[in-house]
Structure 1
Amino acid sequence: MVLAELDDIRPLLACPRCRSGLEPDPAGAGAGAGAGAGVGTGALRCAAPGCAYHVSPAFPDAAGAPVLVDFEHSVVRREAVAALASPAHVHRGADALPTPLRRIAKPPNRVAAVNIDLLLRALPGPAPTLLVVGGATVGNGVEAVYRDTRVRVIGFDIVTSPATQFVADAHRIPLRTSSVDAVLVQAVLEHVLDPAQVVAEIHRVLRDDGLVYAETPFMQQVHAGAHDFTRFTPSGHRYLFRRFEELAAGPVAGPGTQLLWSVDHLVRGLTRSALAGRATRAALFWLRGLDHLVPPDFAQDDASAVYFLGRRRNREMTEAEIIAYYRGAQGSS
């Protein structure tokens, strides 16, 4: 896995409250976030004297990773920083299964692989910077991002992970304005309280003509429990990224996959057992094949998830443009 070193990206980091630069916290280990919080000598603070995060305790560490969160405006709590390093947050669901079963329960995402290839080919210069929002686990189909030695990868999530350099809340990305060339946000926007604010932050940290690739559920049952908030139709997803030029968009998975989700959760409800639901999903894996038999316009109206690949711009899509954008099977009625 190719990740940028934290020291290399430190000049790009910014205070999540005021967006000023960061500097070492002279309090060091004394910048505590509570007993056992893992605060070390690498703790950081805001460099702006007037900012609340200039005064210690500022930004603590969790397992050696800076926690760059505006705690007053986040679901991440300062007193819970120690728990952010728990491995229980990182591996869940199909990712914990043996490889053969995992490929049945969670087959390779070929749509993502194709679009990531397009994104990597479009990145400028010899050493472009790509930000992964919600990158605690390497997403399905995006592995090429982490294999490309040309790309400087920055990752963050609200928990620590070998695939991230720091902890942050996507509503207030702790990076300087116009600091990255591309952003990957896969299966994340359903888990944030304000997706529009997160997309605005993505727009802010991207350089002119920067690229974004997003995948978000449309018709899926609740996952991640209390941390699951939002779904998007294809048109709604496009309007969410209305300050971006579309390069490609469409379903990630269609009605067959959506039906598989529903059967899984129906069995869970009838049996009160998540294991029974997952077993049923594995037994009926062939339902995904029906996706290939559904025409694209019908798939738009019944997709399990949708994707968007776009380029940053300043002009917003108008109300008339989003109505005309609809590509489903229901016509103008």
Structure 2
Amino acid sequence: MALVDPERVRRLLVCPRCRSTLVDGANGLRCDAPGCPCRTAFPEAGRWPVLVDFEGSILDRENMSTRVGADAVGPAQRLPAPLRRIWKPANRVAARNIELLVRSLPGPAPTLLVVGGATVGNGVAAVYRDPSLQVIAFDIVPSPVTQFIADAHHIPLPTASVDAVLVQAVLEHVLDPGAVVAEIHRVLRDGGLVYAETPFLQQVHAGAHDFTRFTASGHRYLFRRFEELAAGPVAGPGTQLLWSVDHLIRGLTRSALAGRATRGLLCWLRALDQAVPATYAQDDASALYFLGRRREQEMTAQEIIAYYRGAQTSP
């Protein structure tokens, strides 16, 4: 894998509160900046340093999980191949955009940060296999494919320290997506790239840790300090209908298993995505993607209104 050695990453880490350089003491990493409340040692979960400003995070210092999270392939990948293709088809949209992102990165050995990378996301495995990339990944739980634990609202890396950021199916799980995108903008070097995928019309998943959804225009405005290179639906109305049927059956039967089984039987609904024109899909997508380049200029309110590409006419 292209993951950067954990010891090397450890030397890059900064205080999530004041962004000062950390010192490695007998009890782990700590901030030595005068007046910083993080002067006590940060906890560790096994080999993973926990760089979290607990005062402003939903994470709890006393109840931090030390259990290693899902492995690099994820639970769906353990199914037999035919069932895997039915339950979780390959994300060709992500694969295409990741290829474009990697081609657009400067060389040699650009650094790519994976935000929320406890598992290798669908369609993005190429970044972990590419020997030309240096991959740094973190999540709020320990994982074989992460080097540290952190809250994305306060990324413990120096300003302008990475060339690209991958944030797939994460922004719906953070309290303040705008703050997380601002952090992504901060850690990116000038002209750095971001690739994001975020739900639009999907039911709640991850229970209490699911907060937000975005329309295409809302998603674009979230990344308003980025130049758009590509954007659009990851999956369309057919996939969205499949989600709805799954959760309808769950509600009627009080059984998640019954919903999943129905989802498998009606997997053909995904094929309807291909029959829906792009303008309609924009309004009815299950999830959306954005690939963009960092800039300082911000979209205006007038520009985001003019940005709309859906099928509906203005009132």
State the TM bucket, normalised to the shorter chain: over 0.9
SS class of match (1:131):
strand
Structure 2 letter corresponding to 1:51: C
Q: Any conservation in 1 of the 2:68–2:143 contact (CA below 8 Å)?
A: no
State the partner residue of 1:320: 302
Structure 2 contact 165–194 (Cα < 8 Å) conserved: yes
Which residue in the other structure is 1:32 paired with?
none
Q: Please state if 1:63 is matched with 2:46.
A: yes
Aligned to 1:46, which of 13, 24, 31? 31
Structure 1 residues 77 and 98: CA distance shift in structure 2, 3 A: farther
Q: Which residue of 1 aligns with 2:290?
A: 308
TM norm structure 1: 0.91
Single out whichever of 12-21 and 96-105 deviates more from structure 2. Answer: 96-105
Equivalent in 218, 230, 249 of residue 267 of structure 1 = 249
The answer on whether the counterparts of 1:44 and 1:59 sit within 8 Å (CA) in structure 2 is yes
Counterpart of 1:74? 57
Deviations 1:228-268 (A, max 9, x none): 00000000000000000000000000000000000000000
Deviations 1:39-88 (A, max 9, x none): xxxx1001313212223xx211102110000111111111112x242446
Q: Is the 8 A contact 2:23 2:29 kept in 1?
A: yes
Gap runs ≥5 in structure 2:
none
- Whole-Å Cα distance in 1 between the matches of residues 121 and 74 of structure 2? 13
For the residue of structure 2 that corresponds to 1:223, the secondary structure is: coil
Residue 91 of structure 2 corresponds to which residue in structure 1? Answer: 109
**1:89/1:159 contact within 8 Å kept:** no
Tell me the secondary structure at the aligned position of residue 170 of structure 1: coil
* Equivalent position to 2:277, from 270, 280, 295: 295
Q: How does 1:230-269 map to 2 (within 5 A)?
A: 230-269=212-251
3-state SS, counterpart of residue 171 of structure 1? coil
Asked whether the 8 Å contact 1:260–1:285 carries over to 2, the reply is yes
Structure 1 CA distance for aligned equivalents of residues 19 and 209 of structure 2 = 26
In the TM superposition, structure 1's runs of 4+ consecutive aligned residues that sit over 4 Å from their partners are 88-93
Matched, 1:227 2:213: no
1:140-155 residue pairs with structure 2 within 5 A? 140-155=122-137
Q: How large is the RMSD of aligned CA atoms in angstroms?
A: 1.5
Report how many aligned residue pairs link the two structures: 315
Matched, 1:118 2:103: no
Displacement of 1:323 in angstroms is 0.1
> In structure 2, how many angstroms separate the alpha carbons of the residues matched to 1:124 and 1:221?
38
Contact 1:84 1:158 in 2 (8 A): no
| Whole-Å separation in 2 of the counterparts to 1:142 and 1:51 | 37
Equivalent of 2:265 in 262, 270, 283: 283
Give a deviation string over 1:127-170, Cα, whole Å, max 9, x none: 10000000000000000000001110000000000110000000
Letter in 1 for 2:252: L
What code does the residue aligned with 1:183 have? V
**Equivalent residues in 2 for 1:134-145 (5 A)?**
134-145=116-127
Counterpart for residue 22 of structure 2: 22
Rounded to whole Å, the distance in 2 between the matches of 1:3 and 1:97 is: 26
- Structure 1 residue 103: deviation in Å? 1.8
Q: CA 1:88–1:165 in 2, change beyond 3 Å: closer, same or farther?
A: closer
Q: 1:93 Cα deviation (Å)?
A: 6.2
Amino acid at match of 2:35: G
Q: Distance in 1 between matches of 2:274 and 2:258?
A: 27
Structure 2-normalised TM-score?
0.97
Matches within 5 A, 1:137-176: 137-176=119-158
**Aligned 1:2-21 pairs, distance under 5 A:** 2-21=2-21
Q: Can you list the C-alpha shifts for 1:101-141, whole angstroms capped at 9, x where unaligned?
A: 22211100000000000000011011100000000000000
Per-residue deviation at 1:98? Answer: 3.7
In percent, how many aligned pairs have the same letter?
73
Query: 1:108 touches 1:141 (CA, 8 Å); kept in 2?
Result: yes
Q: 1:227 to 1:221 in 2, by over 3 A?
A: same
Structure 1 stretches of 5 or more lacking a match?
Answer: 29-42
